[in-house]
Structure 1
Amino acid sequence: MVDAGANRRKGDRYELSEEEVECYKTKGYVHLKGLLSEEEVRVLEEDYMAFIRREVKVQGRDFCDMSADYSKPLDEFSIVNIMLPSRYNPKLKGTIYERRAASVAEQLLGQDMVFDYDQLLAKSPGKSDGVFHWHQDLAYWPVTKDTRTASFWLAIDNSRVENGCIQFVPGTHLEKSLRHHGPLHGDRDTSHTLAARLSDSDVPQPAEINRGDATVHHERILHGSGANTSADSWRRAWVVAFRSKATVEYERSIGFTHSHNDKLEVLNAVGSYSSRTSMHAFVVLKGSSEPKLGEFENALE
């Protein structure tokens, strides 16, 4: 198998082309082929699976299902979400993934970009409700003067539409205002998930990428992912995000750490979140009274 990134990786650095930088600016995301080698992914995969097997203790709501409210039983999870894995396993701080992603963030946004948070997202096969609803990352975060963010989505498995690959709506990062977001399951104490809806003119683009590839996206781009309808293929992803040093320091000063265990008053004060109304109305299929989360084109976040 050809290693698409072999000539791009230089130790801790991954060299971007001018075309990739321009793609990030105009589309709001870019596909990085071979950000990690197969061996590098294999090492990370061992630590990833330790979380999935519950061998690493994760506090409270930082281990949850992003497709459901917090009451969903563990054995029924469709999107296993683990916030801040490097907090719970300190050996994951400063991995080759983090270091190489940092080099890309610097090339895209400048030298003041620092690590903000990490996250694991694993979709088990054959789960029609495993939809991560449309959203813009900035809607989940406190309002800050500097919003610059480079969010990386590393594929641990080959990621395809069938198993729930990430999808983007190109150009939505250039819109003047964020889309309206609201809690998917009533309020932020019931579920962490916020959701927005697509407009008639939005055209989602699947990012089908291979194991070891990554996407990096803008904080304002509308994105989401469909259910994993495959028979036996997991879809595991590892997220790492970088923001400016000043922004991260401000987040921490107000008690915002990206943990789902952050105080509710902090979570309720984020981004465009202003409504206490359930977002079910935003994901209902036309002519139907109930949302059908398995219907990707209408219910995807």
Structure 2
Amino acid sequence: MEQHSAQQLLGNKQPYEYKDCGIPDWSTVHSDTGSLGSGPNSKEEWNSFKLTDRELNEFNRSGYIANKEVLTAKQCDAILSEYEKILALRSDSPEMSLFYEYHRNQSNDPDNVLMHALGHWRVSRLFHDLIFHPKVTVAASQLLAGVGEELCKVRFWHDQLFAKPAKHGGVVAWHQDYSYWTRTVPMRHLTVHIALEDQTLENGCIHYIPGSHNWNRDGEPLPVTDFNFGDMESIKTILTDEEKANFKPKPCLLKKGEVAIHHPLTVHGSYQNRSDNPRRAAVLNYFADGVKSNTDELLLDGTFKIGKGKRMDGQFYPIAFDPLSMT
């Protein structure tokens, strides 16, 4: 796999083929291509996407904010059409080579099915353009900004798909995202959960534990208790008495096209889907420019190694937002 310079990929408008197999690899394009509509064309329009002081304060207090509209119903429907194509991929489909992970059922329980994938931004123009969406990236820039900053440069970390089929959709066990990401430092990460259809109690909406972004172990995240997300309550085996007393789940009843944005230590999860319809969500994960690799191993399968202590950049971690673009 050939490495390309960041400058080359930023100016690229058409994806290169992956290993000459005829499959376009959208990670070779580092800018929005307009499949979800045209971007902002004035500073005033950019500023309209900023979070309010009230929203910023709520994020700092609870560890998340929710019910912000990002996508229209039409945009969601277009993305869901791509979703169906991804769900229908065969194990021998050439596109599979571009995914970092693809689990048809991560729980391995046929009565509690959870489809979970990473890397679909590489195979779909719509999912690629979603990572650059200004309603997402401007908010991410505010929330990731350091002391004394209003905004910061934001890089894309990786995406995720979570699909729960009707009637027998599985759980996503309680967890903190950064527990899985300690291979990158420092902790300046953020997660954006996008509802592609209405999320309800019956279909397994995302839930949060308000204030749990303050839970840690000597500055480190809580340990992972279930790598396959199947044991919903396993996290309680490692909580302190105080954390257990404050373990009060709050559901986020997101409407189609709305997002919930959460801190990397905010404990969250979702219950089973027992409704008559599927529950599908797209997740975008970001970090502040300057975050470094904390390992000499691959950070994501199918990518290039970034040595321990080196900055996270290059083909697979594009700049999703630069404050200079607002001027």
Q: How many angstroms does 1:14 deviate by?
A: 2.4
- Aligned equivalent of 1:159, options 191, 195, 199: 199
Task: Give the distance between the partners of 1:102 and 1:252, measured in 2 at CA.
Answer: 27
Q: For residues 82-231 of structure 1, what are the structure 2 equivalents within 5 Å?
A: 82-89=117-124, 92-95=127-130, 98-110=133-145, 111-127=152-168, 130-177=170-217, 178-183=221-226, 191=228, 196-197=235-236, 199-230=244-275
Q: Distance in 1 between matches of 2:101 and 2:50?
A: 33
Conserved in 2, the CA contact under 8 Å of 1:32 and 1:216? Answer: no
Distance 1:252 1:92 in 2: 28
CA 123–13 in structure 1, closer or farther in 2 if over 3 Å, else same: farther
**Structure with the greater alpha carbon radius of gyration:** 2
**1:159 & 1:97 partners in 2: Cα distance?**
24
Q: Is the 8 A contact 1:120 1:239 kept in 2?
A: yes
2:283 to 223, 231, 239: 239
Q: CA deviation at 1:162?
A: 0.5
Identity of aligned residues (%): 23
Cα distance in 1 for residues equivalent to 2:230 and 2:100: 12
Cα drift, residue 167 of structure 1 = 0.4
Change (3 A) 1:213 1:12: farther
Kindly tell me: are residues 84 and 246 of structure 1, through their superposed partners in 2, closer, same or farther at Cα, counting changes over 3 Å? same
1:215 aligned counterpart, secondary structure: strand
The amino acid that maps onto 1:84 is G
Contact 1:78 1:127 in 2 (8 A): yes
CA distance in 1, matches of 2:131, 2:45: 11
CA distance in 2, matches of 1:143, 1:92: 25
1 CA distance for matches of 2:282 and 2:104?
15
Displacement of 1:15 = 2.9
Residues 29 and 217 of structure 1 are in contact (CA less than 8 Å); yes or no, is this contact kept in structure 2? yes
Alpha-carbon RMSD across the aligned residues, in angstroms, is 3.2
* Deviation readout 1:102-148 (Å, 9 max, x if unpaired): 111012222132111111111011116x1111110011112544212
1:58 matched to 2:101? The reply is no
* 2:55 aligned partner, one-letter code: E
Q: Would you say how many aligned residue pairs link Structure 1 and Structure 2?
A: 241
- When normalised by structure 1's length, the TM-score is 0.70
Contact 1:13–1:103 (8 Å) recurs in 2: no
5+ long unaligned stretches in structure 1: 1-8, 185-190, 263-301
Which residue is equivalent to 1:297?
none
